[in-house]
């Protein structure tokens, strides 16, 4: 007999906390999946020996989710590294640079908006000048000699975050930017498609004229794999918290095939999986792919599969509720500051990969 629970919720009163609302009244359909996700995060994933990777797609930071949710999550040690679309990190800069975004209506005249140099993301509006000023900030920064070299996106975003932190400190917006907070807290920020955003476009413009950084995606592939390998060392665990889907989801989950399939290092897959998405599985896209499908690729562990959760819900609804639930139920975790440990973790990954290739040590059987 499968586990079951009688649906007998209390009446919602004015003194209801987020925890009571989720635990006692989210009992069916996607409210129940959100409850399962919240409880999995709070009771099992937020242990000190779990390394939490979060992937981020969709226009989350323009909607304020970076400021309201992601910054508090990393400040409290609830997220240890992030893989994001470049667009989310680009639009996050507007907040750190104190550029205004406005809540409006999706039913406006777009021709009229364009005539007045107003940009629309569904029901979010901002002046076209916001883009130009943000581009100016990025272009001025990457003109510096220190950027004229090859690097991965974590190193690039760390340097970008340092500059945003400095500017935000003068503007009084230090707590508004995810990029700045990640720099301050040692949380690596990766972009799975570094050319697919205005940040990438600005880098490309500099490259065209013979300056600026060269972004090497191979650095990111190996660094993220080394984070997962390090997470699983000495009985530790790895969690994938997926907001949306797309390329960031795959980049987070492919760390395990990189270890097992490519580098021949024995591994068992991510231990925990929580996804908030509106994508369907039956179209065959990665965004809607289930944990069970991921298991066939060795992306997640068979042991953890029964507790893995997909919630089909708008992330702008789910993520604030999950963030509030964690704040009520979990003590802050010590910061892992994975950015500061990248070289050490990468060195260990290289040692294990060489041992596997040369038939030495515990990895030799799969070499």
As annotated, the active-site residues are: 299
| Whether the Cβ atoms of residue 249 and residue 315 lie closer than 8 Å to each other | no
| Whether the Cβ atoms of residue 138 and residue 204 lie closer than 8 Å to each other | no
| Helical (H) or strand (E) element with 112 | helix 110-115
| Residue (of 253, 257, 232, 325) closest to 55 by Cα position | 253
Q: Give the count of beta carbons closer than 10 Å to the beta carbon of residue 116.
A: 8
d(CA 101, CA 39): 33
Residue count of the chain: 367
Q: What's the burial of 284, exposed, middle or buried (CB within 10 Å: 0-12/13-18/19+)? A: exposed
Distance of CA 23 to the CA centre of its chain: 25
Cα distances from 287 to residues 32, 33, 103, 181, in angstroms, run: 21, 17, 27, 27
Dihedral pair phi/psi, residue 147, rounded to 5°: -90, -5
| Whether the Cβ atoms of residue 217 and residue 193 lie closer than 8 Å to each other | no
């Amino acid at each position: 007999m499968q586990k079951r629970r009688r649906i007998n919720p209390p009446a919602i009163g004015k003194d209801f906390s987020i925890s009571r609302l989720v635990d006692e009244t989210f009992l069916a359909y996607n409210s129940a999946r959100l409850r399962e996700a919240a409880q999995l995060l709070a009771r099992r994933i937020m242990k000190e020996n779990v390394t939490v990777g979060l992937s981020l797609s969709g226009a989350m930071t323009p909607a304020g989710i970076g400021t309201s949710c992601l910054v508090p999550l990393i400040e409290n040690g609830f997220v240890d590294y992030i893989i994001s679309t470049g667009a989310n990190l680009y639009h996050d800069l507007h907040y750190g640079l104190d550029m205004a975004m406005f809540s409006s209506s999706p039913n406006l005249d777009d021709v009229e908006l364009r005539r007045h140099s107003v940009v629309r993301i569904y029901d979010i509006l901002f002046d076209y000048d916001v883009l130009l000023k943000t581009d100016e900030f990025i272009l001025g920064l990457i003109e510096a000699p220190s950027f004229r070299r090859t690097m991965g996106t974590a190193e690039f975003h760390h340097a970008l975050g340092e500059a945003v932190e400095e500017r935000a400190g003068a503007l009084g917006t230090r707590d508004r930017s995810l990029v700045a907070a990640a720099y301050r807290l040692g949380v690596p920020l990766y972009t799975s498609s570094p050319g697919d955003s205005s940040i990438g476009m600005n880098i490309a413009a500099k490259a065209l004229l013979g300056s600026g950084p060269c972004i090497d995606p191979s650095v990111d592939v190996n660094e993220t794999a080394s984070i997962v390998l390090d997470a699983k060392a000495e009985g530790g665990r790895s969690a994938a918290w997926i907001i949306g889907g797309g390329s960031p989801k795959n980049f987070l989950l492919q760390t395990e095939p990189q270890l097992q399939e490519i580098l021949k290092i024995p591994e068992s897959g991510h231990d925990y999986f929580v996804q908030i998405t509106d994508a369907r599985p039956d179209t065959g896209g990665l965004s809607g792919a289930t944990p069970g499908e991921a298991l066939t690729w060795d992306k997640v562990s068979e042991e953890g599969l029964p507790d893995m959760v997909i919630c089909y819900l708008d992330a702008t609804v789910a993520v604030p509720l999950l963030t509030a639930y964690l704040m009520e139920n979990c003590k802050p975790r010590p910061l892992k500051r994975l950015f500061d440990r990248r070289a050490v973790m990468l060195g260990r990954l290289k040692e294990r990969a060489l041992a596997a290739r040369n038939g030495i040590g515990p990895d030799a059987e799969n070499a």
